[in-house]
Amino acid sequence: MSASGSATAPRRRPPAPPTRAEFLAQKLAEEIVAGRLMPGTPLEEIPLAAAHGVSRTPVREALRRLESSGLVETRPRRGAVVARPEPRRLREMFAVMAELEALAAAGCARAMRPAERRELEALHKRMAAMVRGGELLAYRAANVAFHQALYAGAHNGYLAEIAQDTRRRLAPFRAAQLEAGGRLRQSHEEHGAIVTAILRGDGEAAARLMREHLALTEAAWGRMMALILGEPEQNQPVS
């Protein structure tokens, strides 16, 4: 076979020719979720266009998408800001996320395939090492993978979609650090209980344990949320 191997390959298109608007929406979403664009930050079209070297048109379309996805709020002739839900709404979202993840956990107990179960267990064991080593960064990354494994294992793509979406919208309020100190060890133990319940096929227990796990997590988030939500009404415009 020849060099580039494109001989019989069905010549896949470049993974979808990303339009500028699409690219921008993704980029802005990342910045919001990562907490670099704080809730309440104004998103003005011209500065954004300039900052990314495009015209206002793709910026506007990106903002429209983010608006529908809940990451930004737009008031008709008054511009867009990074979404800053009311404290009450935030608690509601958290409660729903807990139920969605409990649902996913129960689904895993029922529907996970043997390979998936092995991988979940393996991942959890790898995370144990990170806890012992205090590798906070690695643990955070693995934690994302852990929850995604649960989404995938339930074999319900729509559930995974809205659960992950809810998690994304809450992400700006976890901001940088979470699970600091002892909470990390405790959190991992809670994961362990969930994994065990799933592996033995006990969906009820898995769901309950997940709910409890997230209830404790919420308490840990409380301070961060209060901090961000307590900010003055007017934030600084986008860089």
Interacting residue ranges for DNA, rule: CB under 7 A: 13, 17, 19-21, 43-46, 54-58, 60-61, 74, 76-80
**Binding of residue 127 to a copy of itself (CB under 8 A):** no
User: Hey, how many other C-beta atoms are within 10 angstroms of the C-beta on 216?
Assistant: 13
**Binding of residue 69 to a copy of itself (CB under 8 A):** yes
Taking the CA atoms of 162, 167, 171 and 172 in sequence, report the sign of the dihedral they define: positive
Cβ distance to DNA smaller for residue 39 or 58? 58
Residue 219 tokens, joined: 């308490």
Q: Which stretch binds a copy of itself (CB under 8 A): 37-45, 57-65, 145-153, 224-232?
A: 57-65
As a whole number of angstroms, the distance between CA 66 and CA 80 comes to 10
As a whole number of angstroms, the distance between CA 206 and CA 109 comes to 7
Residue 159 binding result from DNA, a copy of itself, none, given CB thresholds of 5 to 8 Å by partner type: a copy of itself
**Binding of residue 31 to a copy of itself (CB under 8 A):** no
Residue 11 binding result from a copy of itself, DNA, none, given CB thresholds of 5 to 8 Å by partner type: none
**Binding of residue 73 to a copy of itself (CB under 8 A):** no
As a whole number of angstroms, the distance between CA 228 and CA 38 comes to 8
- DSSP lists the bridge partners of residue 82 as 72
Candidate residues 103, 142, 178, 214; the one interacting with a copy of itself per rule CB under 8 A:
103
Taking the CA atoms of 205, 211, 212 and 213 in sequence, report the sign of the dihedral they define: positive
Cβ distance to DNA smaller for residue 66 or 98? 66
**Binding of residue 76 to a copy of itself (CB under 8 A):** yes
Whether 110 and 203 have beta carbons less than 8 Å apart is answered as yes
Binding-site size for a copy of itself (CB under 8 A) equals 30
As a whole number of angstroms, the distance between CA 226 and CA 208 comes to 27
- Helical H runs in 71-135? 87-111, 114-133
Q: Which stretch binds a copy of itself (CB under 8 A): 138-146, 150-158, 171-179, 196-204?
A: 150-158
- The site for a copy of itself (CB under 8 A) is made up of 16-19, 21-22, 60-61, 64-69, 76-77, 88-89, 92-93, 95-96, 99, 103, 156-159, 162, 166
